[in-house]
A and B are shown apart, each in its own frame.
Chain A
Amino acid sequence: MAEIRVQEGPFDLGHEINRFEAALSGAGAVVSFTGLVRDEGGRLQAMEIEHYPGMTERAVAAIAGEAERRWRLAGCLVIHRHGRLGPGERIMMVATAAPHRADAFAAAEFLMDYLKSRAPFWKKEHGASGETWVAARDADEEALRRW
């Protein structure tokens, strides 16, 4: 059963990975991915992340459930933040654990591709020249086709 957290505050990556590993049994591989706010060459002042409370948790749980059906996983963790974040701050993380690394890598990539365009989050960049909603890219939609 995947652990899913949608939260405003920061998280401690080392603590989360240690906790995740400690709870595993039968795992030989752990893969983790962390997404950070890019500073865009110093132009970005803040990133604001809006989400759809209720639907977000359901959508992320459905994506994680699909990963657990497709690969033999010993554990799956997703943390995604919302609210106002500064450059360099962690936005989100996924961690997957499996008996062997191939399943852990594949499941982590699958989770990232689906979180990008199927979980109800929207990013707005605040910079010196104003505010801009980040547009979805065609490449994000393309990325889903390989699964």
Chain B
Amino acid sequence: MIDVLYFAWVRERIGVPKERVETEAPTVAALVEELRAREERYAMAFADLSAIRVAIDQELAEFDAPLAGAREVAFFPPMTGG
């Protein structure tokens, strides 16, 4: 089980800010594939991965990063602070 968080337009497309996901996905990319296969709203949100950033346990990560031991994964668009 892993907590998956969504922010900004990724959250709006998927329709929830957070959910618990039962997964054995070895990497972030594999988790994205599982989510995409679930429902159209996930496929829409993850249509263009170049527009999405990922964090594992609140640290920026890459899509090929391993998920072993991760408690929390977050998906969001490029950040616009300041």
Interface residues of A (CB under 8 A from B): 35, 50, 52, 54-55, 58-59, 80, 91-92, 112, 115-124, 133-136, 140
Please give, as numbers and ranges, the residues of chain B lying within 8 Å of A58 by CB-CB distance: 58-59
Q: Does B77 contact A (CB under 8 A)?
A: yes
The residues of B with any CB-CB pair to A shorter than 8 Å are 5, 7-9, 55, 58-60, 74, 76-82
Determine whether the beta carbon of B58 is less than 8 Å from that of A54.
Answer: yes
Can you list 9 contacts pairing A with B, beta carbon distance less than 8 Å? A52-B55, A52-B58, A80-B81, A119-B82, A120-B74, A120-B76, A121-B81, A134-B80, A136-B79
The CA-CA distance from A122 to B59 in the complex, in Å, is 17
A118 adjacent to B79 (CB under 8 Å): yes
* Other-chain residue from A35, A124, A135 in contact with B82 (beta carbon distance below 8 A): A35
A residues in contact with B9, CB < 8 Å? 133
